[in-house]
Structure 1
Amino acid sequence: MIRSGAPSPGAADLTACDREPIHLLGTLQPHGFLLVLEGPDLRIVQASTNLPDRLRRPAAERLEEVLGQSIRTAFPEAVPALESYLAQAQPSEGAAYLTTLALERGKGAGSYDLAAHRIGDLVVLEFEAVASEAASIQSLDALYPRLNAFVEGLHAAGSVAELCALLASDVRHITGFDRALVYRFDRDWHGTVVAEAGNGRLPSYLDLRFPASDIPAQARELYRRNRLRIIPDAGYEPVPILPSHTLSTGTPLDLSQSVLRSVSPVHVEYMRNMGTMASMSVSILVDGALWGLISCHNKAPHRVPLQARNACDFLTRIFALQLAARERGALAEQRIRLGMIQARLLGYMAEEEQFIDGLLNHPDDVLALVDAAGAAVVTAESCRLLGATPAADDIRALHTWVSSQPIRDGVFVTDSLGEDYPPARAFAERASGLLAISISQRYASYVLWFRPEVVQTVRWGGNPSKPATPDPAGGPDRLHPRKSFETWKETVQGRSLPWSGPEIDAAKDLRAAVLGIVLRRAEELAALSEELQRSNKELEAFSYSVSHDLRAPFRHIVGYSELLRSREGTNLSETGRRYVDTIAEAALSAGKLVDNLLNFSQMGRNALNRVSGDMNQLVEEVRRKILRDVPPGRAIRWQVGALGRVYADPVMLRLVIENLLSNAVKYTRDRPEALIEIGREPDRDGEAVFYVRDNGVGFDMAYVGKLFGVFQRLHRVEEFEGTGIGLANVRRIVERHGGRTWAEGALGRGATFHFTLPLREGAR
């Protein structure tokens, strides 16, 4: 049972807003038009009434002309890109940009950005008129230095606040909006502006909080499903889609993934009340969940071309991946720290005849386990107090109340105890937060941790208790958003700092240990702490999510570069074609790097399958594989000693040998005769010691500490290709086996790489 966060003021007034089907409005914004296609002949079954027509015919005549026609007849210009999209086995989720095309004169002059998405058997095709500002938008190669600087800035940022400030600044620069905000949701879906960049034309909202009712649940779900949304002009007239229902389904068209989707009238009124006539939002998703938004506003109507929006989406996704890595790293560090405290407590309990004395005799660790100010161990016979707590009688009464609650998994958590248990308001200064665990399956025995009240002043963007006012003329379902956004201060009392997930988990683990697995858990948690300490050093450099989510953007860059080269190559200058080639090569190289990162991250999760194997046989297999890619003219002399047998995972060990031998071949290619030696030193301290030595370019020992790190390279890419992942893979695999890695070298005189594997039976 977990209770936390501020109340949701005015929620009861907004139930109608929560129910509004904003994805089924059946209208578009007028800066483009839409077609709905169905069947193998791609027949047009629905269309927006603003179909372009140079003959100025009424909308009904234009619709009558196209409805029932195949897209191949009505708009043949769109067919090649559409067929390429439909040929994809698994098209990307959401609307996909297909191409920019110019319609024939008979159908209306002008260029359009074409986007498509699927809804079951339907294909929704959207033509967004190319904004007049598009000519001023920089090309991809011109934007690259800024994108690169953004990525470097993310790595250099020392805090989440700095990351958010960097994102707000770059998005505003790319889009030209008057103001760009980074808006973060809390656990109760209230949002706080944590970063802002602006030109002064609109008021600052930095550090203001907005109630959850400003963005109702179904709107948040649309933000999660459709990352980009733009409203170029809040004064637009919605364009209907006809017929209003799809004939084959009998339901309104779902516009959740639409680029041109009209927005709720309540939201348009909200914008006008805020003093903005144009807006754009980009969703920040962390592990698929809505973390926050980039919210951009302009005092006057403002169109942002698709290229700029895509650039903002790309920046936001990179930001989200870096943010996720930071947050995971912080959580991992906290879990490591709490795990070490818990391991000590388990050891203390194991040493005591009465395990509870292991807690009572070490109060500092008991409090530090969940960062509490006070604690109490309460049984039917006794009430033992640690640190700053309420009076014993108050704790006894609280213990009785907690014992009567239907708590889940034996854990009760709240940061507003006075709201759940009113008598606690009398001792809020000592116990506004409570974390309790049951330590007996038969008796009402608990460990209670307390946190004191933290009085806060919250700055709201307007009075949160009156988020909307019903319209008497329109009935109860017609709502008007609030009109005031002036700072409104609220003092929040009776609340403590919230309990974090790792702290709650630490309390749960302590409960499990007390309930019967003290000694075994002590050994397991000690090993877990050691493993987590090794893994945490790599968390901020990569993660599975980073590797996985970056694949698609690079594939898009390569794909559209190839399309540009094949379809527009004759219109490009020699310099332009060289730029396109450079973009494609860079994206391919980045894609390879992402694949290597993915493999690297997966190694930490794959289980080891150790067997006894012949090292000489493995080295010979790897050597023959590597020689297939060596030019016939190269002279390589191999010296392979007696390597014996090892007890290891053969698949992972093969990766170690492949990386080391490939590096040796690569870094000796400038030698008239390369010498590569693989040997085994005398066993020592229960370890088998292997080495790979070459006579290549070597390295400066001053930088030896960087060799086995992710992305660490001691030579330029122009000299020796590579991604900087190989030796990191070597170290991770060897360490997972319980071994060590190190290297020796000198510039111009070669290098030697050593690794060890623990000796096991059958591995001599």
Structure 2
Amino acid sequence: MSAPPEHAAGAAGAVTPDSATGLPPGASAVDCAAEPIHVPGSIQPHGALLVVDPETLRVVQAAVGPGGVAAVAGDPLGQRLVDVLPTSAAPLIRDLPARLPETGVTHLGMTRTGDAVHHLLGHRSDGALVIELERALVGEPGSFDEVYPHVRELIDEIHRVGDIAALSALAARAVRRITGLDRVLIYRFDADWNGEVMAEDRNERLPSYLGLRFPAADIPAQARELYRLNRLRLIAAASYAPTPIVPAENPLTGRPIDLAFSVLRSVSPVHLEYMRNMGTGASMSISLMRGDRLWGLIACHNREPVSVPYHVRTACDFIGQVLSLQLAATEASATADRRNKLRAVHNRLLTRMAAAEHHVDGLVESEEDLLALAGASGAAVVAGGTVLRLGATPSERDVLRIVAWLADRERLDVTATDSLADTMPGGEALKDTASGVLAISISQIHDSFVLWFRPEVLRTVTWGGDPRRHAEPSADGQRLHPRRSFAAWQETVRLRAPPWQPAEIDAVVELRTAIIDIVLRKAEETAALSDRLTAINKELEAFSYSVSHDLRAPFRHIVGYAQLLKKFEGDKLSERGNRYIDTIVESAISAGELVDDLLGFSQMGRAALTPVTIDMNALVADLRRRTEADTHGRRVEWHVAPLPEARADPMMIRLAMQNLIENAVKFSRDRDPAVIEIAATETPDETIYRVRDNGAGFDMAYVGKLFGVFQRLHRAEEFEGTGIGLANVKRIAERHGGRVWAEGRVDGGATLFFALPKR
């Protein structure tokens, strides 16, 4: 706006401005934002202020300006309030403590002394009663009813306007029509408390500031807080001489009286100089609120000093309240429309995610919807170690760099920035695709995120004067001068994307909740399925144990009785009969071996582990001796390297190594010489044992079947076996938290690996 409604200057503490500098004694430029402007120690001169003890109703502090002399008799200090005020005021102050609410200002009425008429106003502050007398103007409206027709015109029109710009313009015209001032501005704050003039109505006596922006420093935090508490403030003359409050401290509290709700409160001398620099002789500000937060201001200016009548100000305050409600309703309606559109997009994404086998597949199925949810130009989903990019995004490497930056910060559900360059080191290099980043974390354990991107949008901002020079200290540092120029000053804003709107942030937060719900539901389904599979596996193990155990005796009986039949009755049978008996014996022996292997396999999953330290060199040496019968008459070259110890169940590890060695001996039987190598490799996490042969090998296309139950990669006629040995090796490794794998090629040998964890 043209001048900040209240610019702070001076040092903290309750002091009276120095008459020579206009600032508190010893104040410097750096104290600007710390001045306690709610306790200025003085009032504007067009009235009088009396601080009254609520128990005795005697005046304990007073400030009587030229405009209030006629309404106050003599020196009011120590006098009863009823004796200080005109006789006509007596009915207005009867039962005064009961008439004043805890907050806000009450218009008690009007009192007359001769030709002088004053508005009598009261409020509470610091436990005291504060009475103000404001000089009325000749011919001013005698009540709000006289001004209401002008307000009614605005109310009739305001409901037909549907956007903020039109509402603002309508209100500016109405306030200027009611007040007759030279210029009325509608001023809106942004998220950083910079202000922008949204609408303006003026004559040619003051310049236009429509569309200009003003820095947050023009209205410091303590001034904004006063605007939040007290909706209306009038400065009748920029060149007034303040009337001090005597004594400076309230005897009831020992500190200066708080004038936050005072109508006559004096303002910072720096602000008065600011007004004079810009050619403004008088100003009035009306707060525009959204809930309990300051949204903006109606700022009114006049070239010459002028006092706006009390009831006209009341009408303007009413307009401010109506405009506040209408602005809030308009913004809420626009936000609701935006939310409804985004909710439709969200529902489509949710439907696809719920139907997909994996939620990420459903999320990225429609690029258009994923981008529309946040109004983004690009998006990326980072999950499970993969990066899926849609639209205009940084490279995969840069996306992972953003994810690492997000993960290193305190993990938040949602992160939103319209300037990555301001928050992430090196972010400026990504301005073409990711000046703005909106991200949701979809895992508390893994670095999984959904990110949306917006590119840099260069824009020109026109300020009302150079925002870097909002105030200047004097040469001695004891005087703060506001800037003297309000000429338009343009700035090109770089490295910023359009800001993410609350509706968009809420939409992606809802998406995060939906994703987590889907993940949790699928995790519950997977856990239930896992529990069911575990139960089934236990049942199968129990069944296989029972069946294999019960079948061992019948197969032994078959072998035994078949051999007895051949021994005692073989000479009576034909050659074919004896051949049949031999086949029965061989088949029964094979079936018995299969049953034994099945029994061992089922026991492997049921048996408890008893880990001990095992000398693997001694174990392998013993297993080699036991294979001598199978290698008799063959040339076998053994290459056994020194093997590290293993920490494992001894029976299970013995069975695993036995299967690996027997496997190598069996599949290298056609080699002369057969070469079998046994060695080990250690890593920080595991010990890997390997058994290599130069035998028949296998096709790597079928390596996944090698360790399965009953899986054979060669014909039974070529190599005997039940197809359970390597399945046992895999189960033993897994019981110990290890793993198995193999490498080989057809007719080129095979290497089988058996890894055990060190912890």
TM-score class, shorter-chain normalisation, is 0.5 to 0.7
Counterpart check, 1:234 vs 2:238: yes
The alpha-carbon deviation at position 427 of structure 1 amounts to 2.5
Are 1:31 and 2:46 an aligned pair?
yes
Judge which range, 44-53 or 385-394, deviates more.
44-53
Q: Equivalent residue of 1:342, what SS?
A: helix
State whether residues 284 and 300 of structure 2, in contact with CA within 8 Å, keep that contact through their aligned partners in structure 1: yes
1:13-412 matches, within 5 Å, as: 15-50=30-65, 62-63=74-75, 66-75=76-85, 76-83=87-94, 86-88=97-99, 91=101, 93-103=103-113, 109-132=115-138, 135=139, 137=141, 140-408=144-412, 410-412=413-415
For residue 519 of structure 1, report the CA deviation from its aligned partner. Answer: 9.7
Following superposition, the deviation at residue 84 of structure 1 comes to: 5.7
Give yes or no for the alignment of 1:436 onto 2:439.
yes
Three-state SS of the structure 2 residue aligned to 1:429 is helix
Instruction: Please give the per-residue CA displacement for 1:490-547, whole angstroms capped at 9, x wherever unaligned.
Output: 00011111111121111112112212357999xxxxxxxxxxxxxxxxxxxxxxxxxx
Q: Secondary structure at the match of 2:462?
A: strand
Contact 2:354–2:518 (8 Å) recurs in 1: no
1:398 deviates by 1.6
Whose RCO is larger (CA < 8 A, sep 6+)? 1
Stretches of structure 1 that go unaligned for 5 or more consecutive residues are 1-12, 522-764
**SS of structure 2 residue aligned to 1:418:** helix
Q: Structure 1's 85 and 147: CA in aligned 2 closer, same or farther, altered over 3 A?
A: farther
SS in 2 for 1:295: strand
What pairs with 1:310-709 in structure 2 (closer than 5 Å)?
A: 310-408=314-412, 410-475=413-478, 478-517=479-518
Normalized against structure 2, the TM-score is what? 0.63
- Offset of residue 137 of structure 1: 4.2
Q: Which amino acid aligns with 1:490?
A: E
Post-superposition CA distance 1:606-628 (Å, at most 9, x none) = xxxxxxxxxxxxxxxxxxxxxxx
Q: CA deviation at 1:431?
A: 1.0
Give the deviation of 1:40 after TM superposition. Answer: 2.5
Q: Which amino acid aligns with 1:316?
A: G
1:54–1:323 distance in 2 versus 1, CA, 3 Å: closer
- Return the letter of the residue paired with 1:77: S
CA distance in 2, matches of 1:407, 1:287: 31
CA distance in structure 1 between the partners assigned to 2:80 and 2:518 by the alignment: 69
Structure 1 distance, partners of 2:520, 2:350, is 7
SS in structure 1 at match of 2:434: coil
- In 2, Cα distance between the equivalents of 1:377 and 1:402? 14
* Contact preservation (8 Å) 1:51, 1:62: no
Label 1:81 to 1:161 Cα distance change in 2 as closer, same or farther (>3 A): same
* 1:237-294 alpha-carbon deviations (Å, 9 max, x no partner): 1001101101121001111110000000010011011111111111111112111111
Q: Distance in 2 between matches of 1:382 and 1:518?
A: 17
- 1:41: how far off? 2.7
Change (3 A) 1:137 1:69: closer
Deviates more, 1:441-450 or 1:465-474: 465-474
Contact 1:71-1:79 within 8 A present in 2 as well = no
Q: Is the 8 A contact 2:89 2:110 kept in 1?
A: no
Query: Which AA in structure 2 matches 1:463?
Result: D
**Shift of residue 15, structure 1, vs aligned partner:** 4.5
- Looking at structure 1, the residues matched to 189 and 354 of structure 2 have their Cα atoms a distance apart, in angstroms, of 43
The structure having more radius of gyration, on CA atoms, is 2
* C-alpha RMSD over aligned residues: 2.4
Confirm or deny: 8 A CA contact 2:45 2:67 kept in the other structure: no
- Aligned residue type for 1:468: A
C-alpha distance in 2 between matches for 1:416 and 1:23:
36
Q: Closer, same or farther in 2 for the Cα pair 1:349/1:84, shift >3 Å?
A: farther
* Alpha-carbon distance in 2 for matches of 1:310, 1:491: 41
Indicate conservation of the 8 Å contact 1:349/1:355, yes or no.
yes
Give the percent of matched residue pairs that are identical in Structure 1 and Structure 2: 48
After TM superposition, which residue ranges in structure 1, 4 or more long, deviate above 6 angstroms? 51-56, 518-521
Q: Distance in 2 between matches of 1:102 and 1:428?
A: 68
Provide closer, same or farther for how the CA distance between residues 427 and 474 of structure 1 changes in structure 2, counting only shifts above 3 A. closer
Separation (CA, whole Å) in 1 of partners of 2:464 and 2:411: 36
SS in 2 for 1:428: helix
Q: Secondary structure at the match of 1:246?
A: coil
**Deviation digits for residues 279-320 of structure 1, max 9, x if unmatched?**
111111111211111111111111111011111111111111
Change beyond 3 A, Cα 1:426–1:211? same
Bigger drift between 500-509 and 262-271 goes to 500-509
**Segment of structure 1 superposing worse, 378-387 or 69-78:** 69-78
CA contact (8 A) 1:85 1:91 kept: no
Please state how far the C-alpha of 1:335 moved relative to its aligned partner: 1.6
**Amino acid across the alignment from 1:206:** L
Report the CA distance shift for 1:435/1:427 in structure 2 as closer, same or farther (over 3 A): same
CA distance in 2, matches of 1:307, 1:143: 7
Cα deviation, residue 466, structure 1: 1.3
Is contact 1:350–1:518 with CA below 8 Å preserved after alignment? Answer: no
CA distance in 1, matches of 2:394, 2:506: 25
- Cα 1:240–1:443, aligned 2, differ >3 Å: closer, same or farther? same
For residues 54 and 381 of structure 1, the distance between their equivalents in structure 2, rounded to whole angstroms, comes to: 81
Cα distance in 2, alignment partners of residues 392 and 53 from structure 1: 74
* Residues 55, 235 of structure 1: alpha-carbon distance in 2 compared, 3 angstrom cutoff: closer
The 3-state SS of whatever aligns with 1:515 is helix
Deviation (angstroms), 1:74? 2.2
**Shift in Å, 1:145:** 3.4
Query: Any conservation in 1 of the 2:147–2:312 contact (CA below 8 Å)?
Result: no
Query: 1:77: Cα distance to partner?
Result: 3.3
1:353 CA displacement: 1.4
CA distance in 2, matches of 1:492, 1:509: 32
State the partner residue of 1:529. none
Q: 1:401 to 1:519 in 2, by over 3 A?
A: closer
Mind listing any 5+ residue stretches in structure 2 that lack a counterpart?
A: 1-27, 523-759
Check conservation: 1:266, 1:481, Cα contact below 8 A.
yes
Instruction: Write the distance in 2 (CA, Å) between the matches of 1:84 and 1:289.
Output: 35
One-letter amino acid matched to 1:319: L
Q: Distance in 2 between matches of 1:124 and 1:498?
A: 46
Give the aligned residue type for 1:288.
D
Decide whether the 8 Å contact of 2:359 with 2:518 is kept in 1: no
Report the Cα distance in structure 2 between the residues aligned to 1:34 and 1:263, rounded to whole angstroms: 15
- Give the C-alpha shift of residue 138 in structure 1: 8.2
